[in-house]
Structure 1
Amino acid sequence: MGKLNSFIFSSLRNVKRDYSTSAVVIGLIATLVSYAGPLLIVFQAAKVAHLSEDIVSSWIWAISFGSGLTCILLSLWFKAPIITAFSTPGAVLLVSSWSTYSYSEAIGAFIVSAVIMTILGMTGLFSSIMKKIPPSITTAMLAGILLHFGISVFTSLGKLPVVIIPMLVFYLLSKRLIPRYAVIVSLMAGLFTAYLGHELHFQHVHFQLVSPIFTAPSFSLNALIGIGIPLCIVTMASQNAPGISVLRADGYETPASPLITATGLSSLFFASFGSHGINLAAITAAICTGKEAHANPDKRYIAGISCGMFYLIFGLFGATIASLFNAFPQELIVGIAGIALFGSLSSSLSVSMQGEKKEIALITFLVTASGVSMFGIGSAFWGLIAGLFVDWILFGRFRIIGFTQQKEEIKG
């Protein structure tokens, strides 16, 4: 108990000392981005499963609190911006798979998936795999993931130029004059111009506290095969692997095993309330790990705490989140997300193309950016596989018709 009290008081002192407005706002932006698109997939999956409004509200509460608590605790513990989120590819999987199973069977599958993820984290197996992947591949994969968001800024410009152009102009001016607050100024410019253009619609927003609903699981082999195992695979491959890559790209060598273990345990605890899975974030993590949060990397963990706090606040109003996001033009959310990721995208591209493995990085980047999806697994995983395969061909050791060639022989 004494150690716990010491940790709490020490953490409070550190937060007070390292607090910055830029990190808090970046945390808010990351939370908004977490909800903006993925939450629509959650509603779509709920419609497929014919879930009641109360169950959906409990689901949103569960994924929000599961993400928020892990964000806060992990960021405090490791003093790094550890951003977690609910599984987006997992929600996509549910859209196509859930109609066959009852809600309680799905809960059982969520629990099994969470147990597997926890075991992978506790045994260190996931960490061992990540250590064997060359940095050029992971940074190229990250760049491929982020490319879409950078491009979306300019596609949004064509749809709502009166909002996006001022955001870009004020971002660039702030990068020159007050770089630490560039994203904040851009967001303020976007909100102000959206208000002037009558693009903000708060009249339909209503506030109502959520009531979490516990559901006892039922276990079936069909649900395990149809939901549980695929959910674990897509979450580990499409979310946790890129999430670790984001941290590594910005210089955070946080051990992977405790992060995976914590998200697995969080998934397990909140599964009976509707959570389909909590995992490391990639896109929103990249928003918080860059210089926009703070010039000093050691103080960016405040963005992780901020993100977690906003998760908790939004989770309390699970029934009203959709109406809140409908108040903002979609182009504004897409635009600020892309602008906040400019720094991470440029640094990822730069790092991945250094050294002798440019071809490997290029192919990883292109496959990831293509958006290709097979067997329910997204392009981030296939970009990773493509990079490893090309690395093996060009630099690895392989056997052809009875003789072995190595890197030096290939070059010769």
Structure 2
Amino acid sequence: MTEYTSDLLRLLDARGYIHQLTDAAGLDALAAKQVVPIYVGFDATAPSLHVGNLVSVMLLRRAQQAGHKPIVIMGGGTTKIGDPSGKDEVRKLLDDDGINANIASIRRVFERLLTFGDGPTDAVMVNNDEWLSKLGYIDMLRDVGRHFTINRMLTFDSVRLRLDREQPLTFLEFNYMILQAYDFLELSRRYGCRAQMGGSDQWGNIVNGVELTRRIDGTEVFGVTTPLITKADGSKMGKSVSGAVWLNETQLSNYDYWQFWRNTDDRDVGRFLRLFTDVPLDEIARLEALQGAEINEAKIVLANAATAMCRGDAAATEAAETARKTFEEGASGDALPSHNVAKGNITLVDALVALGFAASKGEARRLIKGGGARVESEKITDENFMIAIGAETIRISAGKKNHGLLNPVE
């Protein structure tokens, strides 16, 4: 572990956030002597961020905990372009109303994780459409575009991988890295921003911003990236069997969010506690050393802490109690995912899809054939099984850990 002098880099290093630094010594020295405004950017392509974005959100939380100023940049402008990083195809473009509605929805999570205000270390949220929409095209090409070479832009993973796969890369998307670099320059001028942080897939974009700010204004700024966060089984962070793990409760129930963390692989518990909770490091060391069935204690601590941070203490308490009732008493807790069904019949396949336990009917059929589906406590292996909906709520299970309710409605 590198010896840093600033609280910022010591904290990031101890909890496993640091992958790349443009100038470790320079940022360390700056953060040790003054409050550093630090930004992370988020595009507003959906009403909620998901768990795959959470490590970047936590970077801002750590920055504030270390006495620095978080700047949340919502990409009202760049969302109109679309970041090609990690994408195999052109993203659907949103209009201003859709983008603004998404930003308002996303803000609710940041308000739980950061302290906003007018103080020197209080967080601010800014929409980059404020300056990007005002840029004149010719001026942008002349003043900013001349600092970028096509040769170098073609070497960045976000561009090269799309071309290697022979997937279309529009000229619109090709400009994304220039606009993100310009964001850093603009934030340096407006807010004295001196560092940008993000995931490892943003390294090229961050370096562009560092270089552009130095070339145009002569200002020294810095970049930090986190490692690619994958689960121990190699799957991508932010995805579950039934789809994206959204941070907003309007997109995913508190119980399902809690269960995502509770179902963490044994090998990931310590790492996720460090990255996604404020549990002290000495307590994490104790928890991740637990063996056998005792590791479940650590998973419950992780689920409770992660859910409380993102959804609030009441949500975490309710979800934990629902899980206790469901697994220890065999009852149906109030917070289980549910689906309203008109009285009559529904196929088990449709029920599994409606509850989010399968992403498609084909996946639901495979789950049933494999013996992973139950109605009440009875295992069902008939793909064509029909569930009779009467006056009583019916409990559906997928595997040992996913449980939901079919609620009869008139």
Give TM-score, length-normalised by structure 1: 0.22
Task: Pick 1 or 2: higher relative contact order, CA cutoff 8 A, min separation 6.
Answer: 1
More helix by share: 1
Return the index of the structure with the highest Cα Rg: 2
More strand by share: 2
